[in-house]
Amino acid sequence: MAFTIRLATEDDAGPIQEIYAPYVRDTVISFEREPPSVEEVRHRIRSTLKDYPWLVGELDGEVIGYAYTGKHRTRDAYQWSVDSSVYVRPDHHRSGIARGLYESLFELLTLQGFFNVYAGITLPTPASVGFHESMGYQPIGVYKNVGHKHGAWHDVKWWHRSLGDPAPDPERPTSLQEVQSHEGWDDAIGTGVQAAQL
């Protein structure tokens, strides 16, 4: 079996929507109430890739997981920080796919010049908590009763992972398009392949 990690394209919207829809429909992991359409997922991929990485993991050419980042907050002083998400098809949970995707994601974000990655996790979700802590995320606080879904209020706990010591006078993060020409791009995106236990 051949596992690869690559940058997503708009053509991946269908399989990504199939992976994501059950998380929306059946769980409180996502706070969306209705699964987005394939066209909406296509739009999200296109919008994200203007500035941030969106990766897919493929097994023998089939998308089985994905990870991406986005703006942490809109104001300019936050520009070196991003929020992360990762989703894996249930039949490939605990196979190292999420770990591999995150490892590649962190390398690309470092190349771009980001310093902080944040993840919000609905409580209780012990598998997600354990995974993120194993990836170096540290808990920083809880938003109490911040979301209402499936007939109940839910807390979201936030975690932080540092990508390195913040520079005292940092340059603006490099765009995703620019960083793809960096000599370290191929090594960075391939970093996570070995983590998958397939």
Give pLDDT tens digits for 93-145.
988 999 999 999 999 999 999 999 999 999 999 999 999 999 999 999 999 99
What is the domain-level CATH number for residue 144?
Answer: 3.40.630.30
**CA separation for the pair 111, 4 (Å, rounded):** 20
**CA separation for the pair 165, 116 (Å, rounded):** 9
How many structural domains comprise the chain?
1
What is the domain extent for residue 31? 3-195
pTM of the shown model: 0.95
C-alpha triplet 75, 81, 83: angle, nearest 5°: 100
**CA separation for the pair 99, 149 (Å, rounded):** 28
Regions of the chain short of the pLDDT cut 70: 197-198
